[in-house]
Amino acid sequence: MDRSVSPKAADFSIALLAWFDAARRDLPWRRARTPWRTWVSEVMLQQTTVDTVAPRFEAFVERFPTPRALAEASDDAILSAWSGLGYYRRVRMLRDGARACVERHSGEIPTSYATLSELPGVGPYTAGAIASLAFDEAVPAVDGNVGRVVSRIAGLKVDPSKPAGRRAVEEEIRLLMPASSPGAFNEAMIELGALVCRPTRPRCDACPVRAFCVAVDDVPENYPLKKTRQESVAVSCVRAFVPAGDGGAWTVAIDEGGRLAGFREFPGRWLAPGESAESALRDALSVLGFSSITIGAEKARCRHTITRHRITAILHAVRAVGPPSSSPAKPSSIAELSGPGVTTETRKLVAAAAEVGP
């Protein structure tokens, strides 16, 4: 590797690593750099901010200290431990990856990029991050930060979120990366993107590698190429608060396989254009086996966004005779309705209803 590193690349690394040594943040996953802690943190940080992950990281690795511990955990346990992090599919994939370690590697985490890449939920970035940060393998790890930093430094007019753009960025990294400390190099590039080479208002005046940067003399914000975004869609849904016991209400579990699988929510459904809330609720509750349905007043409403769907959820008070025991609907206590087993939309509705009054 060293033979391909030019004197200019060596100067780049020296400047970058000196900056990182002084500026690196004290983050939980950096305090003990084990392979498992690295893996967990990288998955948590996918599309999720440091401020969201930091307060939840230690509790998770304390509860599941090894891949084997997570491999053997129940759905309820992992979803509860992941509560508040979003993208719940990630923790199921992490568990699948942990199970693969148990089944194929005696519970150990593979040490090479190639073998890490064969684990479920481990893509090019995560494999590169674990291999380099935990095992010091000299491989690129291109996340959103690194894609932005490298496209600016090299003046690449590519979209690093696409495979072709990512490969172009990886080629540049191979020219720059020092054989002596690839892990520190990758982590420093990520940190540079987060603290200095930001998406908007980059702090080029404080950049340790501005002497090597093409975009600093251009318009840095023009790099990298932006991905085209889907238009967001406004949708409404109606839900029923059918009392069940002391402050509680009937809920249904979301089907396995769909989004938010495993969480509970108030019964209801999307509102078709022009459809009345009353007929939609009557329909949804009948399907679940409720009878003698009386739709009451609006009890609460909330706004909630899931990816590109802007949802307005409206909760109605409803009186009805409970369904037979064969129904998927079950009673939930008031405590459960504001706990980690329900969707965020449900917690918002419960909170909004509490503000109005019981």
Partner DNA sequence: TACGCGTGGTA
Partner DNA sequence: TTACCAAGCGT
Q: Does 124 bind DNA (CB under 7 A)?
A: yes
| CB of 149 closer than 8 Å to CB of 167 | no
**Least distance in Å: CB of 72 to DNA?**
21
**Least distance in Å: CB of 170 to DNA?**
12
**Least distance in Å: CB of 1 to DNA?**
23
Q: Does 241 bind DNA (CB under 7 A)?
A: no
3-state secondary structure of 185: helix
Nearer to DNA, 294 or 305 (CB): 305
Nearer to DNA, 219 or 292 (CB): 219
Site string for DNA, 289-308 (x = CB under 7 A): --------------xxxxxx
Placement of tokens 């991905």 in the chain: 227
Q: Does 251 bind DNA (CB under 7 A)?
A: no
Residues tagged active-site: 42
Q: Which residues contact 196 (CB under 8 A, 6 or more apart)?
A: 202, 203, 204, 206, 207, 208
139 vs 41: CA distance, rounded Å: 19
- Dihedral of CA atoms 219, 221, 223, 229 in degrees, nearest 10, equals -140
Joined tokens for residue 51: 């401020």
Site string for DNA, 254-283 (x = CB under 7 A): ----xxx-----------------------
254 vs 264: CA distance, rounded Å: 6
Placement of tokens 């090894």 in the chain: 66
**Least distance in Å: CB of 296 to DNA?**
25
Sign of CA dihedral 113, 38, 81, 60: positive
Binding residues for DNA (CB under 7 A): 27, 29, 41-42, 45-52, 84-90, 93, 120-127, 129, 143-145, 148, 161-164, 190-191, 193-194, 198-200, 226, 229-230, 232, 234, 258-260, 303-310, 343-345
